[in-house]
Amino acid sequence: MKLLLNRFIELLKWPVALYMLVSLPACIQSLSYFNFANLKYLALFGGFFFFFVARGFMDSGMKTTMEILAHEMTHAFFALLTFHKVTGIRVAPDDSGGNMSFEGEGNWLIIIAPYFFPLFGFFYMIAFSIYTNMAPSNLLLNGILGYFIGYHLDTVGSQIHDKQTDLPKVSYLFCVLFLPAANMFMVGSMLAFNTRGWDGVIKYNELIGYLNAKNFDLVSAFLGNLF
């Protein structure tokens, strides 16, 4: 099962990269569909900016350790999702890097996951849903979600550099095609969750599909008129 899944994921690598490239305009356009003049979004943006203020007061060693740990945990999460047994997670004592080991050959999704998937934000969204099923929602929860969006963007930004060993494994071309839209899609999904929960995430997916179809029609019409 694991071997078959790895082969299937590998087959999807370049089609997914091209789809994300094509979806980049839709991800940008989708921002105009959000009603940001809303208390929940004001709270979210408050949490987002609070992260960047708080970052200046964080101990640099602890911040680096947490980033490395989150990075390796995201590798591990996707390894488990694709039926690989995780055998260890290690952070170097000098915070120079980390390592996640697992059984099997792996796949590109495990390698690239920390560069687009907001692991802490994802688990917070699950906790958010559980809490609001038992108690009324409040703006503090939206602010914390904004904090995790800030954390995700800051962490991804700090991890993408020329000395990063993961990126050449999937190829820089793939990273250029895939990562910009993948990150925008994840942030858009979190923004949609902020006001409508998981139903909002589903609606956001539908919106991206709608905008992609609309953009395809516009390009087709333009090329038809041109030729």
Q: What pLDDT, in 10s, does the model give residues 122-138?
A: 999 999 999 999 888 89
Half-sphere exposure in the Cβ direction for 137 (13 Å, CA): 21
pLDDT for 150 beyond 70:
yes
Between 89 and 171, the more confident residue is 171
Q: What distance in Å separates the CA atoms of residue 223 and residue 227, rounded to the nearest whole number?
A: 6
Task: Work out the mean pLDDT of the chain and round it to a whole number.
Answer: 92
* 8 A C-beta contact, residue 218 and residue 22: no
Between 160 and 198, the more confident residue is 198
Per-residue pLDDT, 82: 94
CA distances from 80 to 74, 100, 184 (A): 10, 12, 24
Evaluated on CA atoms 134, 139, 142, 146, the torsion sign reads negative
Tokens of 96: 């120079």
Confidence class of residue 95 from pLDDT cuts 50, 70 and 90? Answer: low
Per-residue pLDDT, 161: 84
Between 69 and 186, the more confident residue is 186
